[in-house]
Chain A
Amino acid sequence: MDAAVEVRGLVKKYRKSGRGISGMDLDIERGATFALLGPNGAGKTTFVKCLLGLLRPNAGTIAVFGEPAANPSSREGVGFVPETPRFADFLSAREVMRLHGGLIGLSGPALEDQIDMRLEAADLLDAPKRVKQFSKGMVRRLALAQALLGSPRLLVMDEPTADLDPIGRRTVRNQMAALTQAGATIILNSHQLSEVERLCDHVAIMNRGKLLGQGPIDELVPEGTDLETVFVDMVEKAGLP
């Protein structure tokens, strides 16, 4: 299989809480729109951080397009929208975009054109001068705009629609759809199950650091039921965190 992400025997334990991920195997196909579901504390964000090389696993391997996640080069062509985005308060939206564009090797007119396009799509062209004056929703939209710089081949989003109004949510959905059409892989962490059903073609459910089930959404969810019912059944059988 041509995998965008390959995870084998992943273990990550936090020293203080003892929680994390305990033995995870997962393949995410190229071009898939993949949702990772689980109750709070299931290990979804820990997985994303290991995938991006932000956390060091205790055991196991993660490969992103064949490159070990510990190598910075594995993050080339990867965009990330964290659960709680934070930017340098005293920079403007354009300066934040220049910083992130510079880090992925963009410069000059090509970068400025991309910045204009992404800021316009995020409705941030007329944003206040400094990020510290932004509302939560504006910060979220800026997080998505920077993640889309350079048209990533893998977009990782952790609760991307939290704090967004209905219009903002629709913008996120449209941009995700455009990226999927362009052949990119999307990994989405979300509690919004209706949104996942609408946007994603593959899903994995995890609890207490373990995968409970994974597969194409139409195989995992039998006819006549919905994702929420399947999710609740699986998590309750495994025991709540």
Chain B
Amino acid sequence: MTAVLTIARASVTEHFRRKLILFFLVILLLVTAGMLYLTLNDSLAADLTTATIGLATAASLGLLPFIAALSAVAVSMNNIGRPFSDGEAMLIMSRPLTRWQYALGRLSASFVVVLGLCAVSALLMQGVRLFEEGGLDSGLWGHWATTAFNLSILAAITTLVSSLVHAPVLAAFISYFVYSLSGIVATLYLLVTNSRVGGMAGALITAAWYLTPKTLVSPLLMREVESAGAAAALPGSILIPSTAGRVLWAVAYMAIMILLTFLVVERKDL
């Protein structure tokens, strides 16, 4: 365990020295501030309809995890491929540690960075709410907890892909594609159910369920959308509730990604 922590600590230090993380942090804070302006500004509430504000809030809530997702890909796309190809991992692996410890250390560092970014945004939101409204919003904690969990899955996917594809940008594209597969299949489902080839709908919705790593839906997003009466305007796949089955499958999905990474790294020559 000490080896995993040692690798993770060095990797986290390295991540925070890269300007890329700072860039994502600034963008995340700007969007967070924009969303707070939307939800807390009384003059906006007077000018716009509730449904419009609800939809704008939902869009912001979707944008925040998207930016955080990009940061998760950015911190994970170099986890395995680059250090194995440029020789950095060779020196570390000449120490008494196993390859899975190395991979787990790198992945843990990605988790810490992703959680850190989510925590900064969540704390900013809660801080402003506490100041403006005098209370904390439990839905916000849920929103960021689910986002952080989903992004941890994305970090696990990216780490696996980075162990197979050494070019970091290509690894990033493939990972995000895999992460988004459920959305793509769900969109296909909507198309199919509204067309003449409806027979495929059952297979597609099943595929969407199993392909989805983005399994958990933010309780805050659900609440905002429902209170705005905007549910009908959004694609059905977004509103699939986070049942126990889906949570279990999300955990299993992440475990599969991590195990596959261990298997690939174990077979790699240095």
Does A183 lie at the interface of the complex (its beta carbon under 8 Å from any beta carbon of B)?
no
B contact residues around A87 at 8 Å (CB): 88, 91
B99 CB, min distance to chain A CBs, angstroms: 9
A contact residues around B14 at 8 Å (CB): 88-91
Using A54-B94, A85-B87 as known contacts, say yes or no to A49 and B6 having CB atoms under 8 A apart.
Answer: no
Selected from B11, B86, B270, the residue in CB contact (under 8 A) with A54 is B270
Cα of A216 to Cα of B5 in the assembled complex, Å: 44
Per-position 1/0 for A84-113, Cβ under 8 A of B: 111111110001001110111100000000
Interface centre among B9, B88, B95, B96 (most CB of A within 10 A): B95
Per-position 1/0 for B68-97, Cβ under 8 A of A: 000000000000000000111011111111
**Which secondary structure dominates chain B's binding surface?**
helix
Interface size class, chain A: 20 to 34
Using A91-B13, A91-B14 as known contacts, say yes or no to A103 and B87 having CB atoms under 8 A apart.
Answer: no
Using A84-B87, A91-B14 as known contacts, say yes or no to A52 and B269 having CB atoms under 8 A apart.
Answer: no
Interface size class, chain B: 20 to 34
Does A82 lie at the interface of the complex (its beta carbon under 8 Å from any beta carbon of B)?
yes
B contact residues around A84 at 8 Å (CB): 87
A84 CB, min distance to chain B CBs, angstroms: 6
> Is there an interface contact between B95 and A75, defined as CB atoms closer than 8 Å?
yes
Interface members, chain A 52-101 (any B CB < 8 Å): 52-56, 72-76, 78, 80, 82, 84-91, 95, 98-100
Does B10 lie at the interface of the complex (its beta carbon under 8 Å from any beta carbon of A)?
yes
Does A185 lie at the interface of the complex (its beta carbon under 8 Å from any beta carbon of B)?
no
Per-position 1/0 for B233-270, Cβ under 8 A of A: 00000000000000000000000000000000000011
Closest to A90 in B: B17
> Is there an interface contact between A82 and B10, defined as CB atoms closer than 8 Å?
no
B92 CB, min distance to chain A CBs, angstroms: 7
Does B3 lie at the interface of the complex (its beta carbon under 8 Å from any beta carbon of A)?
yes
Cα of A213 to Cα of B233 in the assembled complex, Å: 79
> Is there an interface contact between A73 and B96, defined as CB atoms closer than 8 Å?
yes
B contact residues around A73 at 8 Å (CB): 96
Cα of A85 to Cα of B88 in the assembled complex, Å: 7
Does B18 lie at the interface of the complex (its beta carbon under 8 Å from any beta carbon of A)?
yes
Selected from A54, A80, A82, the residue in CB contact (under 8 A) with B269 is A54
Interface members, chain B 81-128 (any A CB < 8 Å): 86-88, 90-98
Closest to A87 in B: B88
B contact residues around A104 at 8 Å (CB): 95-96
B contact residues around A82 at 8 Å (CB): 87, 90-91, 94
> Is there an interface contact between B91 and A146, defined as CB atoms closer than 8 Å?
yes
Using A55-B270, A72-B96, A72-B98 as known contacts, say yes or no to A143 and B87 having CB atoms under 8 A apart.
Answer: no
> Is there an interface contact between B96 and A86, defined as CB atoms closer than 8 Å?
no
Using A56-B269, A85-B87 as known contacts, say yes or no to A91 and B10 having CB atoms under 8 A apart.
Answer: yes
Closest to B102 in A: A103
B103 CB, min distance to chain A CBs, angstroms: 14
A contact residues around B92 at 8 Å (CB): 99-100, 103
B contact residues around A86 at 8 Å (CB): 86-88, 90-91
B13 CB, min distance to chain A CBs, angstroms: 6
Closest to B3 in A: A103
Does B138 lie at the interface of the complex (its beta carbon under 8 Å from any beta carbon of A)?
no
> Is there an interface contact between B90 and A54, defined as CB atoms closer than 8 Å?
yes
Does B2 lie at the interface of the complex (its beta carbon under 8 Å from any beta carbon of A)?
yes
Closest to A81 in B: B91
- Given A75-B94, A90-B18, A91-B10, 15 more A-B residue pairs with CB atoms under 8 Å apart are A49-B269, A54-B90, A75-B95, A80-B91, A80-B94, A82-B87, A86-B86, A88-B10, A90-B14, A90-B17, A91-B14, A99-B9, A102-B6, A103-B7, A156-B94
Closest 7 pairs (CB-CB, A-B): A102-B6, A80-B94, A103-B95, A90-B17, A54-B270, A86-B87, A99-B10
Binding site for A on B (CB under 8 A): 2-3, 5-7, 9-11, 13-14, 17-18, 86-88, 90-98, 269-270
